[in-house]
Chain A
C-alpha cells in the first residue's frame, strides 16, 4: 500500500463529504464520525448522482438525486435497489486522512 496524505480530518464536516480527483474519476471521502472516514466512488450507479452531496447517516449515504442508499463499508446499495460503488482503503493518522494511491491506481488498470 502507498498512503497519500489528502487532508486533515477536520477539513471534512462531520456527516459530510469532500472529493478527491483521481485519474479514474472523483473519489469521495465521507466522515461518518469524529475519527472515522470512508472512501468510495462519488458516482451513483443509478444515474450518476454525486454521492458526496448526499446525507450521511450512520455508515451510509443517501444519493441526492433519487435517494438510493449505499453502505460505505461494502459499497452495496441497500434495500430494494441493486448496485454497488467502489470503495477504497483509507485511514486516519495523527488527524490526517490517508488514501491508498495503489488501490486507486489498481482500480484504474482494472477499469
Chain B
C-alpha cells in the first residue's frame, strides 16, 4: 500500500533524497513537498556564479515542474508550514492540512543576524536564497553603488567577489584577524586578502560593526573604532544556525539542531530530518557533501534498507574564479604533530601539510591546489605517509621512487635550470662562475648576481657550489634567527625594507617561514623591525612582545610588578615625591632609588597597575619605560645651574634629549647621560650615548656599556651647540633603529658595522636631516604615554581576572 510522505523544505538535501527514493522504489510513497520559497529545488551552492553573472538561474535548477509531475509530487511552493500535529499525524500548512505516515523535515538553516542597531533597514540583506541574490544583482545595477559585506567567511567572500564583478565598490568587514579563519591559517589568509585587494575589494580585518546607519534605507556602516563606511547595500554573512522552529514547537528533541540518529530518525519514529537543520553526534552540517550522504541514507531508511550515516572528513574550496584555495582536515598545530610548509613567494603559493604519527591529518593550500584531491584522499583514507614524507608536499608526481636526496636532486638539475628567479640565473652560469675561479657565495653574487636580490635562493646556490666544488666548499651554518627560518636577522631586515613587507603574515609568507606563526624568539624581533620600518602602516602587536613591554611594567620574581615614573633628566619636585609616596602607601610598594636617577615602586599587583598609573598620571607623571627595549633614562649632573665646575646646562640638555626621545622603540634598551664637565658625575662615558660638556661645546660619545660587558664610549663627534648635539644623537639612534639586529645594544652594533661607517654616514648633513625626519615620523605614533592609554577603562579590564570561581564555590 502506498504511504503518505510529507517533505518540508525543498533544499539540496531533500531534493537529492527524493531522487534516491524514486530510483529505489517509485511506488512506495505519495509525496507532498512544501517549500516556503515560491519555487522548487535548485542548486543553492551555485548562487555565487549566478550573482557574479557566470550562470543564470535556469542553469542551476535541479528539478523542474516536469520532474515533480512525472513522480507524482504534490508541490506546495510558496506556502509556509504552520505546525506539525504529531498526535493526528498531520502537517498544517497556510492553505490547509496534509496527513502523513512519514514526515521529513529539511528546513535548512537561517542566516545569523548580528544584533546591531539598523539591522532592519532596507538594503540590509543576508545571502541565503535566490531572492537575496536578485536583490544584490539589482543593487549592483546602480552605477557607483557601494556595498559592505559583513563577514569574511566562505559565503561573505563569494558575495563580495560577485558584487565586485558586477561593478560595485565592495568592502569586506571581518571580526577576526584573518579571512576564513575556520578554513585557513594566517598565511593562506594573507594571500587571499592580497588576491581580493588586487581585484579592488577592500578588506578590513578586526573590524567590529557597531551600527548600520540610515533613514529608512541603509546609508552607512559605523565601526567600533569610529570609522564610517558609506553603503548602499549591506550583506550580512556572519554565519548560519539550524532552522528548528517547527521541530521545537512539535516538542521533538532539539539541541543546536534537530537531534537525529544514524538513520536520520528524530525522537519521533515517524519523523525524519536531514540537512543543515539536523545535529548528529554533536555535529552540525553546512557543506554539501555530508548532506548528500544523509540523503542517500534517508532514502534507504524510508525504503526499509539498512544504512547508517557517518561523519566524514570535509574539504573546502572557495568559488571565486582565480582564488585557488583548499583546506581539509584538522590543520591546527599540536603535540606529536609536524608541519611541512612549502612557500613559493614568487608565485604566491603556500602549502601546509599537518602530519600526526605517520598519517596526514590536515592540509591548507593557496595558489596551487592542483594536487588537493590527492592530499584529501590521503586524509580520508588515513594512508600511511611515512615512506613519502620527504617529498610528500610536492604531490603525487614525486612519489613512488626511492627517497630523494636534496643534493642528488640539485646534482641532477640540467644546466639551464633556473636557480635565482629574481636575476634569471641558471645553474650553468653558476657552475661556469665556479670554474672561472669563484669559491665563495660573495664571489658568486658578485659575478652572477645569483642570490643577490631577495636572497631566498641562497641555500640552493650553496648546494650548487657544494655539488660542483665537492669537499672544497662547506655550506656555512646559517646564523638564522631561530628554527622558524633559515634567514639571518640582517637578511630579514633588508628584505622587509626591500620588498615592503608590512605585516607579520607577509613576512612569514614572503620569506618562507617554516612555522605557522613564529615563536617567542622571532616574533618580538619581527614586530620591532616592522614598527621601526613602517611606523605608520604597521600596528604594534602586543602578543609579540615580552611581558614587560606588553604590561608596561617590569615583572618580578614573585609575579608582581615594578612601576617607575619618568623623571625628566633626573629632576623631580615635592609634588611628584608626595604623589609617589601616596602611591607607595596605597598600593603597598617597596621604594627603591635606582641608578638611572628615578624612583622604583616594587611589588605592585597586576590588577592594580591601571589604578596606580592613573594616580601617577593625575600628578603629571608618565611612564618611565624602565621595562622597554627603548629609551630608558637620560642621567644628568646638576651642571652650570649649580655646580662650580659646570661648563654647560647639562640638566637642561638631558631633559631636552629625554623629551625628544622618550617612547621610541629600539633594538635593545638605550641609556643616555649628560655630564656637565669632564669630571663626569653623570657617568656618561659608559652609556649608549654619552655627552660630556666642555667649554667649547659638547663631546658626543657612543657605544659605551656597563653591563655584562664594560666598555668606554668612543667619540662620535664634537659639536658647538645643544641643537647639534641633539641632532647628532637623534640621527645616531635612528640609524641604530633602522639597521641593528634585535637585542644588539649600540656597542655591539657599532662593533659590527664599524664606527667609521657610522661617523661617515652621519657626517652628511642631508643624511642626518633625513634620519631626524624619519625619527619624528615614528615618534608621531610612539611619543605617547602608554600608561594613560592602558589606564582607560576598556583596556584596564584586561588586567583583571576574567573570572573568580572561588567566590562561587564559597556560596
Contact = CB atoms under 8 A, between A and B. Distances in A.
Interface string A95-111: 00000010011000000
Contact of A19 (B551, B555, B801): B801
Interface string A2-20: 0010110011111110111
B335 A59 contact: yes
Interface in B787-806: 798, 801-806
A15 B798 contact: no
B519 interface: yes
A73 B805 contact: no
A15 to B, nearest CB: 4
Interface in B533-559: 542-547, 550-551, 555, 557-559
Main secondary structure of the interface of B (DSSP, over half): loop
Interface string B309-348: 0000000000000000000000011110000000000000
Contact of B520 (A19, A69, A73): A69
Contacts of A26: 801
Contact of A59 (B332, B550, B803): B332
A82 B803 CA distance: 30
A21 B804 contact: yes
B289 interface: no
A57 B517 contact: yes
A64 B802 contact: no
A58 B515 contact: yes
A49 to B, nearest CB: 7
Contact of B557 (A29, A56, A65): A65
B176 A34 contact: yes
Contacts of B804: 20-21
A55 B520 contact: yes
Centre residue among B177, B182, B803 by max chain A CB count within 10 A: B803
Nearest to B799: A18
A4 B497 CA distance: 48
A101 B811 CA distance: 14
Given A4-B805, A29-B802, A55 B546 contact: yes
B802 A18 contact: yes
A13 B557 contact: no
A13 B542 contact: yes
A55 B802 contact: no
A53 B182 contact: no
Interface residues of A, number: 47
B809 interface: yes
B523 interface: yes
Nearest to A20: B803
B525 to A, nearest CB: 12
Contact of A55 (B334, B524, B557): B524
Contacts, number: 111
B106 interface: no
Nearest to A93: B256
A2 to B, nearest CB: 12
B518 interface: yes
B332 A36 contact: yes
A35 B182 contact: yes
B805 A64 contact: no
B181 A58 contact: no
A34 B557 contact: no
Contacts of B545: 55
Nearest to A62: B520
Given A59-B332, A101-B805, A18 B520 contact: no
A47 B542 CA distance: 24
Contacts of B543: 13-16, 55-56
B335 A76 contact: yes
B555 A65 contact: yes
Nearest to A27: B805
A74 B805 contact: no
B516 interface: yes
Nearest to B543: A15
A21 to B, nearest CB: 4
Contact of B335 (A53, A64, A73): A73
Contact of A21 (B175, B334, B555, B806): B806
B550 A21 contact: no
Given A15-B517, A55-B520, A58-B517, A7 B803 contact: yes
Given A21-B801, A58-B519, A62-B520, 17 more contacts: A14-B177, A15-B517, A16-B542, A20-B801, A21-B804, A22-B805, A23-B805, A32-B333, A55-B520, A55-B524, A55-B545, A57-B517, A59-B335, A60-B333, A64-B547, A64-B555, A76-B335
9 contacts: A14-B177, A21-B803, A21-B805, A48-B559, A58-B515, A58-B516, A67-B520, A69-B520, A101-B805
